[in-house]
């Protein structure tokens, strides 16, 4: 057989199956374009001119790896679905004299043509759109815009290598599907009988159990550290539960609808329910895939957008004043306070000499220690690092001790304590009575207080575990009792910290300059005294890092959501097309016995409403259940704005629902054109 015949057959096959290949090639182009853009932003020097874009670049690099993995998996899955629609055609080629090697050559040239079109179109689209995406990215992270057009040769080469390897794997899989199938099975692939599936209650019950287990973890987790530990377990359980439940549950749904005579024996429902009943096991897996992708879109974009739009509040929670100075040391010593009194006076003098007006200041000293809260007592003899596989992070508690004078000054209260009495406040889920045991020391709780009063709320920043705030009558006297506590490595468990924050009235550039001057001054004063950590930070300078971090996450969320959405659309499209070809002969017979095109359209609408409402409904349910779980994870980023997260999730759900309805309307029209 002439070699030139194979490319011609391959090109004709793609042209005649354009309805299948055009969306597939377009999707390949999109994924290649996005991969090129992300690699260019993350690995090239295009962002070098942007001040402080380091954090955002690292996130884009992470997204590039995710894109490569997801692109390989999804295109592999899509091509497997596409080749199944060509099996009859390959069977006819086999009947006409082609052996498996000849068919492999046809598939090879089809893959080469698809690869060439996708690679050329994808890289050209990536180069053409790269500047637009770059400008959008710099807008999100609030970086200075440059209008120099940049083409990354290394990104083109890397994209070429990665997607050439992916297409090679796709070719091998396609050859496998054809090589090991009998000719008669290839020819009759579209007429292969399928027994109506039985309702598998065991699979359904397992699905419910897996789903409930994932939901239980999401609902019951309290600590952000526990949420981080259990996140992937909850995700895997939810995905498995969704697949099992929709595979088994969709069959049960069809059986229930068939037994309902008032519903089933109607023109609108009879044909659609009968068709679905025969392919519902496969249908359920497709619906579950759509549901998981929709959930990923909702979770990704709602969480990253919430982080981004809450960036200023998160910044002010971390840096409540324009200048924020902190010092840390181990244990407690009276000399610490005396040293910092002198430093505080020096800071004020340095700021005034620079032209700043020190105002709206607050200052406090605190000591903290961590332990394991059990039976109303904080145990200090458990090392979380040595028990990380068995420890319950919901019971890991951090305790902060404050002096009553600092508390009254920051809250405007006038509380008085006797010896042995304390005021107690809680951030998290800690249950205790009127007596508190911290290590071997007992305290009487005179009163509980709200931690968010006045300036005291600024002491609650990014607490990844539950935190207990204890106000004592004499900080030195109480905390010195814990000076001898050490962990298994011999390090002090008690940490001492000092905070001084104030506004300056300076512009943002001068605030940053002043913070650098103060940092040098404080280090010169305290490092010789063995203070192990000293920071002087300006809110203006740190704003860049917040914008870059949350902006990078938001940008990554947008890119991933676009990919998930395109993947979801493609699954829906191929599902409708493949089922349309399967049902074409059935509807042709029904039209011969009197079924009108109007009846066909009503039957199709019935099928859409009955089946395709399931994925979006489950996706909304998943989102509602995991929102508290997401909130715990966002606490790790200092985000504690649940109303904003709920609002973001609601807007995302509304937009996603409308888009989902539009896609199904368009794809149902394609289905209707095929069967009618």
Q: Which stretches of the chain drop beneath a pLDDT of 50?
A: 52, 185, 187, 189, 192-194, 385, 388-389
| Residue 115 forms part of a structural domain | yes
Q: List the structure tokens of 106.
A: 């046809």
Asked whether residue 338 falls in the same domain as residue 482, the answer is yes
* Structural domain contains residue 640: no
512 within some domain = no
Sequence-distant (6+) residues with CB within 8 A of 423 are 404, 407, 415, 417, 445, 446, 447, 448, 449, 470, 471
Q: What is the pLDDT of residue 629?
A: 81
The number of folded domains in the chain is 2
The string of pLDDT tens digits covering residues 480-500 is 888 888 777 777 788 889 999
Both 329 and 185 in one domain: the answer is no
Cβ proximity of 532 and 328 under 8 Å: yes
Question: What pLDDT sits at residue 386?
Answer: 53
Helix (H, G, I), strand (E, B) or coil at 377: strand
Nearest to 123 by CA among 71, 162, 159: 159
192, 217, 242 - which closes a domain: 192
Of 175, 192, 209, the one marking the end of a domain is 192
Q: Is residue 431 part of a domain?
A: yes
Q: Are 320 and 455 in contact (CB under 8 A)?
A: yes
Write phi, then psi, for 259 (nearest 5 degrees). -80, -15
pLDDT (0 to 100) of residue 87: 65
Instruction: Work out the end-to-end distance of the chain between its first and last CA atoms, rounded to an integer number of angstroms.
Output: 39
For residues 23 and 165, membership in a common domain is answered with yes
Cite the beta strand spans of 354-434 per DSSP E. 359-374, 377-379, 396-403, 421-427
pLDDT for 300 equals 87
Q: Is residue 15 part of a domain?
A: yes
What is the Rg, in whole angstroms, of the alpha carbon atoms belonging to the chain?
32
Domain that holds residue 417: 323-505
Q: How many CA atoms lie within 13 A of 31 on its CB side?
A: 33
| Element of type H or E holding 538 | strand 533-538
Within a domain: 52: yes
Is the pTM of the predicted complex or chain greater than 0.85? no
Given 505, 533, 554, the domain boundary residue is 505
Spell out the long-range contacts of 565-570 with Cβ–Cβ below 8 A and sequence spacing 24 or more: 565/293, 565/297, 565/659, 566/27, 566/30, 566/31, 567/27, 567/74, 567/293, 568/290, 568/293, 568/294, 568/297, 568/663, 569/663, 570/23, 570/24, 570/27, 570/78
* pLDDT tens digits, one per residue of 537-588: 998 888 888 887 888 788 878 887 887 887 788 777 777 776 666 666 666 6
CB 82 within 8 A of CB 575: no
pLDDT number for residue 646: 92
The H-assigned helical ranges of 44-152 are 54-84, 87-95, 100-140
Closest CA to 170 of 69, 90, 72: 72
- 269 falls within a domain: no
Q: 3-state SS of 159-189?
A: HHHHHHHHHHHHHHHHHHHHHCCCHHHHHCC
Token reading at 196: 């109506």
Token readout for 598 is 């109007």
pLDDT in tens, 172-193: 888 877 765 555 545 454 554 4
- Rounded to an integer, what distance in angstroms lies between the CA atom of residue 590 and that of residue 270? 11
Residue 37 lies in a domain: yes
């Amino acid at each position: 057989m002439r070699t030139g015949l194979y490319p011609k057959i391959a090109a004709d096959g793609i042209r005649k199956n354009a309805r299948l290949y055009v969306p597939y090639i377009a999707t390949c182009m999109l994924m290649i374009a996005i991969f090129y853009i992300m690699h260019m932003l993350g690995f090239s020097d295009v962002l070098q001119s942007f001040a402080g874009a380091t954090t955002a670049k690292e996130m884009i690099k992470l997204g590039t790896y995710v894109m490569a993995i997801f692109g390989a998996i999804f295109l592999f899955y899509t091509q497997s679905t596409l080749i199944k629609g060509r099996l009859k055609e390959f069977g006819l080629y086999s009947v006409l004299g082609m052996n498996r090697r000849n068919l492999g050559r046809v598939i090879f040239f089809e893959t080469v043509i698809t690869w060439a079109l996708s690679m050329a179109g994808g890289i050209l689209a990536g180069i053409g759109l790269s500047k637009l995406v770059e400008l959008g990215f710099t807008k999100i992270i609030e970086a200075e815009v440059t209008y120099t057009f940049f083409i990354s040769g290394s990104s083109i080469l890397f994209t070429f290598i990665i997607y050439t390897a992916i297409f090679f794997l796709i070719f091998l899989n396609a050859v496998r599907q054809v090589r090991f199938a009998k000719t008669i099975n290839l020819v009759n692939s579209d007429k292969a009988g399928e027994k109506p599936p039985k309702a598998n209650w065991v699979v359904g019950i397992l699905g419910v159990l897996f789903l409930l287990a994932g939901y239980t973890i999401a609902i019951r987790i309290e600590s952000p550290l526990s949420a981080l530990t259990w996140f992937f377990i909850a995700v895997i359980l939810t995905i498995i539960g969704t697949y099992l439940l929709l595979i088994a549950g969709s069959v049960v749904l069809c059986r229930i609808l068939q037994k309902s005579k008032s519903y089933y024996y109607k023109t609108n429902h009879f044909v659609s329910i009968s068709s679905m009943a025969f392919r519902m096991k496969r249908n359920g897996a497709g619906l579950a895939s759509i549901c998981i992708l929709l959930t990923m879109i909702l979770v990704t974009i709602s969480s990253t957008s919430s982080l981004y739009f809450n960036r200023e509040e998160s910044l002010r929670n971390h840096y409540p004043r324009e200048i924020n100075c902190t010092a840390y040391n181990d244990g407690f010593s009276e000399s610490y306070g005396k040293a910092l009194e002198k430093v505080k006076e020096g800071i004020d003098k340095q700021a005034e000499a620079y032209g700043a007006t020190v105002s709206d200041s607050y200052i406090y000293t605190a000591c903290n220690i961590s332990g394991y809260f059990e039976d109303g007592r904080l145990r200090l003899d458990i090392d979380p690092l040595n028990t990380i596989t068995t420890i319950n992070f919901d019971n890991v508690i951090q305790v902060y001790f404050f002096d009553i004078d600092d508390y009254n000054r920051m809250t405007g209260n006038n509380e008085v304590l006797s010896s042995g009495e304390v005021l107690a406040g809680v951030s998290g889920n800690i249950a205790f009575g009127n007596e508190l045991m911290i290590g071997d020391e007992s305290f009487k709780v005179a009163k509980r207080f709200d931690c968010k009063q006045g300036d005291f709320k600024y002491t609650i920043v990014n607490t990844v575990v539950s935190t207990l705030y204890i106000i004592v009558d004499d900080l030195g006297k109480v905390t010195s009792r814990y000076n001898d506590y050490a962990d298994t490595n011999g390090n002090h468990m008690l940490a001492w910290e000092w905070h001084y924050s104030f506004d300056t009235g300076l512009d943002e550039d001068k605030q940053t300059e002043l913070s650098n001057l103060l940092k040098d001054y404080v280090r010169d004063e305290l490092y010789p005294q063995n203070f192990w950590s000293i920071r002087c930070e300006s809110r203006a300078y740190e704003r860049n890092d917040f914008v870059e971090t949350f902006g990078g996450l938001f940008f990554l969320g947008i890119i991933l959501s676009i990919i998930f959405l395109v993947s979801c659309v493609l699954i829906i499209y191929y599902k409708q097309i493949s089922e349309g070809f399967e049902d074409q002969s059935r509807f042709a017979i029904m039209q011969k016995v009197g079924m009108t095109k109007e009846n066909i359209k009503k039957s199709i609408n019935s099928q859409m409403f009955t089946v395709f409402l399931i994925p979006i409904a489950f996706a909304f349910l998943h989102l509602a259940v995991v929102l508290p779980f997401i909130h715990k994870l966002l606490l790790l980023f200092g985000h504690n704005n649940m109303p904003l997260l709920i609002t973001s999730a609601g807007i995302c759900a509304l937009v996603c629902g409308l888009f989902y309805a539009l896609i199904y309307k368009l794809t149902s029209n394609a289905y209707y054109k095929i069967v009618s």
